[in-house]
Amino acid sequence: MKQIRIGLIGTGYIERCHAIAYSQVVTVFPLKAELVLDYLAEITPELAEQKAREFGFKRATGNWRDIVNDPNIDVIDICTPNFLHKEIALAAIANGKHVYSEKPLALTAADAKLMYQAAKKAGVKTLVGFNYIKNPTTQLAREIITKGEIGEVTHFYGTHNEDYLANENTPLDWHCIKEKAGLGALGDLAAHIVQMSQYLLGQEIISVIGDMQTVIQTRPNPNNLQERLAVENEDQATALVRFGNGCMGTIETSRIACGRKMGLSYVITGTKGSIIYTQERMAELKLYLHDENPARQGFKTILTGPLHPDYKNFCVSAGHGIGFNDQKTVEIRDLINGISENSTALYPDFEEGYKVSRILDAIALSCKQKRWVNVEEIE
């Protein structure tokens, strides 16, 4: 069995989720290649050593270039803050590595385009960590739509709202600084729901008009709490969108939405039925079908179970629940199996990551210029 050797470059919370997913994926899914947790980079050699031990990696380094340049590594897994994605990915691609990057792919669509084109030219495979679409429940939603069960989709309403910056005294961090994060809530959160809308509908967003605001304009300097620094990107944004087939949509995002802890949600209306979902109840899908006995119509709450995509590998009983890291585990299954077979494309790849960045940039431009923007206007 072929080996696939992972080089993980990362910090923080999402790195840990990747590590948990790597540790369980071999038990949860039959893989088509042998997964080798090989090399891990962190910001210092000491931290790298510690994390490597914790996460079961063989080798550690304080310099990510060691991993990118190591001939024994097959896949570079990028869990760094956004502003480093581009440099690491381009270096990895240049060395012929497959690349698995967290979202958003880059700070701008222009950067994302460079990355996608470099990967295409190099013939390496790529995957972007839009993990929420790997949830069995959202896979089920896509299945219902694809089979035409709710008819033709006529409206998409999607949100990704959280409240991690709702308190005005939460100190400034890299998410609020343009050159570290790029966009604010749009890049950090809306990237997910924008990509998910395209996944669910099988359609691309082609034009947008948005509105956005930095509600909390200054935050404490983390190094000197008495001082307040400017927040450089948007706290909240909303956009009207049109998909390629003419379907109308609305995208809302906020990082100051008090009470919304994991407010990724969608309401999808079709000519024959509707779907409602919120990530806070990630194992439930609400489905309405219009063609039954009208005296018995209503939204049905479907609990995800073994009859739905990928669930039964976690548990054979319905309604027993899967968690956040389980989504990541499905994603890594796709990564390993997709790389092990030449014929299989990974999804969502850098091209999709670029398309999402383009839409986010188009929304930001439409906010600035107060007009509808065709996504194609963004290179």
Stretch in the footprint of a copy of itself (CB under 8 A) among 103-111, 148-156, 198-206, 346-354: 148-156
Q: Nearer Cβ to a copy of itself, position 67 or 264?
A: 264
Stretch in the footprint of a copy of itself (CB under 8 A) among 18-26, 61-69, 118-126, 220-228: 18-26
Instruction: Give the CA dihedral 104, 25, 309, 30, nearest 10 degrees.
Output: 130
Stretch in the footprint of a copy of itself (CB under 8 A) among 66-74, 103-111, 152-160, 346-354: 152-160
Which of 73, 133, 287, 359 is the binder for a copy of itself (CB under 8 A)? 287
373-374, strands of its sheet edge to edge:
284-289, 273-278, 263-270, 153-161, 248-254, 236-243, 205-213, 373-374
Least distance CB 351 / a copy of itself (angstroms)? 27
Tokens in use for 22? 């790597």
**Considering only CA atoms, which of 76, 67, 116, 117 is closest in space to residue 97?**
76
Stretch in the footprint of a copy of itself (CB under 8 A) among 2-10, 40-48, 225-233, 281-289: 281-289
Q: Nearer Cβ to a copy of itself, position 120 or 244?
A: 244
Stretch in the footprint of a copy of itself (CB under 8 A) among 52-60, 80-88, 179-187, 192-200: 52-60
User: Does residue number 280 form part of the binding site for a copy of itself (CB under 8 A)?
Assistant: yes
Q: Nearer Cβ to a copy of itself, position 9 or 114?
A: 9
Within positions 230 to 259, which residues make up the interface with a copy of itself, using CB under 8 A?
A: 236, 238-240, 242, 246, 248, 250, 252, 254, 256-259
Q: Find out whether 93 and 338 touch, Cβ atoms under 8 Å.
A: no
Which of 279, 340, 356, 361 is the binder for a copy of itself (CB under 8 A)? 279
* Separation between Cα atoms, residue 367 and residue 375, nearest integer Å: 13
Stretch in the footprint of a copy of itself (CB under 8 A) among 63-71, 159-167, 193-201, 347-355: 159-167
Q: Pairing mode, if any, of strands 284-289 and 273-278?
A: antiparallel
User: Does residue number 371 form part of the binding site for a copy of itself (CB under 8 A)?
Assistant: yes
Q: Nearer Cβ to a copy of itself, position 310 or 351?
A: 310
Per-residue contact flags (x/-) with a copy of itself for residues 303 to 322, judged by CB under 8 A: x-x-xx-----xxxxxxxxx
What separation in angstroms does the CA of 184 have from each of 1, 70, 101, 148, 378? 43, 34, 19, 36, 18
Which of 7, 15, 38, 55 is the binder for a copy of itself (CB under 8 A)? 55
Per-residue contact flags (x/-) with a copy of itself for residues 324 to 363, judged by CB under 8 A: xxx-------------------------------------
User: Does residue number 169 form part of the binding site for a copy of itself (CB under 8 A)?
Assistant: no
Within positions 190 to 229, which residues make up the interface with a copy of itself, using CB under 8 A?
A: 209-213, 215-216
Q: Nearer Cβ to a copy of itself, position 107 or 283?
A: 283
What residue type is assigned to position 22 of the chain?
Y
Burial string for 245-257 (b: 16+ CB within 10 Å, else e) reads eebebebbbbbbb
Omega before residue 71 within 30° of 0, cis: no
User: Does residue number 11 form part of the binding site for a copy of itself (CB under 8 A)?
Assistant: no
Least distance CB 235 / a copy of itself (angstroms)? 8
What separation in angstroms does the CA of 111 have from each of 90, 141, 280, 345, 378? 10, 32, 32, 22, 12
Q: Nearer Cβ to a copy of itself, position 120 or 272?
A: 272
Largest CA distance in the chain: 66
Query: Using alpha carbons only, what angle is made at residue 79 by residues 200 and 326, rounded to the nearest 5 degrees?
Result: 50
Map residue 260 onto helix, strand or coil: coil
Q: Nearer Cβ to a copy of itself, position 89 or 263?
A: 263
Question: How many CB atoms within 10 Å of residue 142?
Answer: 17
